[in-house]
Amino acid sequence: MITAETSLTDVAGAVAATLRTLDYDPVVVGGSAATINAPEAYRSDDIDIVILGGIDESREGKRELIAAMKSLGFRLQNAMWFHSSNRYTVEFVPSPVAIANDILSDFAIADTPFGPVRVLHAVDAVCDRLNKYVAYKDPDSLEAAITVARSCKVDLSKVEAFALRHAVGVFADPFLRAYRRFHQALVPQERSVSEHSFTTTLRLWFAADPDEATVNDVQTRIREMLDSERSQIAGLDGVDVGGDITIHGDVASVVLRLRATREGPFVEKLGIAIDSIAYIRSRIQNFPELLDVLEDDAPPIVSTGA
């Protein structure tokens, strides 16, 4: 029986046990998964449940679900289930279990007096909160990711891999910034002294078909701009443009290299490199010979030295 004192984990267990009598396969996700993994570190008032394979949307299926939830003391209001005496609400989230573009199929088990309940692993709960922070700019979600990771001693390399995997296109900068803040909060003293080099191609669209001399002149002016605006290109030890030139009609490609030897985690250096590339691109778009600097959304190529 669910009472006012029943914990979120136990309420989830009671709901899961009742759903299994209807042959449903429930998994606790979202902020409630963070709470189940680290109840002393993070508290949610909502229980988000995915029924794998979805809910039976037939009239009979809906009737059975409503009856089952009412038997536990819940009532349905605006797609949310409220309990008559307990403060925790329940919401059914569409299947499958997903964090950003990752579909999950492996889950942890939490034991409750009502039986076991499947829930996101702690590392997945952290990635889920980090993803919510990126998507909604929700500071509470970032704090949840930090506190759960600290409480459960989550493998940070897996969280970093998640962030890097999703740091593409328009989400490149938000994910990298989010992970930097997350990492710095957890490991403020950790430092890496490896040298990292970042290489990208600047595809310059000229107003008229250029020759090699014209492209070399633009390269020289880019170097002069880099030298004069070094303070705006923060956090890197070396930035240069040069090397082989490729010309196809009115588009010329030149190589931009950035180097970082200073201390700091790799993902922080990568974020600084991406910020610097964006700044450089925005500045050279003003060159009178150019119509644009073409964007291909490709991340910089990374190499590491001792």
Query: Do 90 and 164 lie in a common domain?
Result: no
pLDDT at 190: 45
Query: Do 170 and 206 lie in a common domain?
Result: no
Query: Do 222 and 259 lie in a common domain?
Result: yes
At residue 92, what is the residue type? F
pLDDT at 188: 57
Q: Would you say residue 141 lies in a domain?
A: yes
Query: pLDDT-based confidence at 124, cuts 50/70/90?
Result: very high
Q: Would you say residue 63 lies in a domain?
A: yes
Average pLDDT rounded to a whole number, residues 20-47: 95
Question: How many domains would you assign to the chain?
Answer: 3
pLDDT at 57: 92
Query: Do 78 and 163 lie in a common domain?
Result: no
Query: Do 13 and 112 lie in a common domain?
Result: yes
CATH assignment at residue 232: 3.30.300
Query: pLDDT-based confidence at 89, cuts 50/70/90?
Result: very high
Q: Would you say residue 235 lies in a domain?
A: yes
Query: pLDDT-based confidence at 237, cuts 50/70/90?
Result: low
Query: Do 268 and 207 lie in a common domain?
Result: yes
Query: pLDDT-based confidence at 64, cuts 50/70/90?
Result: very high
Query: pLDDT-based confidence at 232, cuts 50/70/90?
Result: low
pLDDT at 196 over 80: no
Query: Do 181 and 207 lie in a common domain?
Result: no
Token pair in block for residue 69 = 């939830």
Domain boundary among 73, 105, 120: 120
Query: Do 27 and 78 lie in a common domain?
Result: yes
Domain boundary among 135, 162, 186: 186
Placement of tokens 């889920």 in the chain: 128
Q: Would you say residue 241 lies in a domain?
A: yes
Query: Do 170 and 245 lie in a common domain?
Result: no
pLDDT at 193 over 80: no
Q: Give the distance between the most distant pair of CA atoms in the chain.
A: 82
Query: Do 114 and 64 lie in a common domain?
Result: yes
Query: Do 66 and 90 lie in a common domain?
Result: yes
pLDDT at 280: 87
CATH assignment at residue 81: 3.30.460
Kindly give, in sequence order, each residue whose CB lies less than 8 Å from that of residue 118, ignoring residues fewer than 6 positions away.
16, 25, 26, 27, 28, 107, 108, 109, 110
Domain boundary among 136, 167, 186: 186
Query: pLDDT-based confidence at 286, cuts 50/70/90?
Result: confident
Q: In whole angstroms, give the CA distance from residue 238 to residue 235.
A: 9
Q: Would you say residue 166 lies in a domain?
A: yes
Query: Do 162 and 204 lie in a common domain?
Result: no
Q: Would you say residue 284 lies in a domain?
A: yes
pLDDT at 11: 98
Domain that holds residue 238: 195-305
Kindly give, in sequence order, each residue whose CB lies less than 8 Å from that of residue 190, ignoring residues fewer than 6 positions away.
183, 265
pLDDT at 267 over 90: no
Q: Would you say residue 2 lies in a domain?
A: no
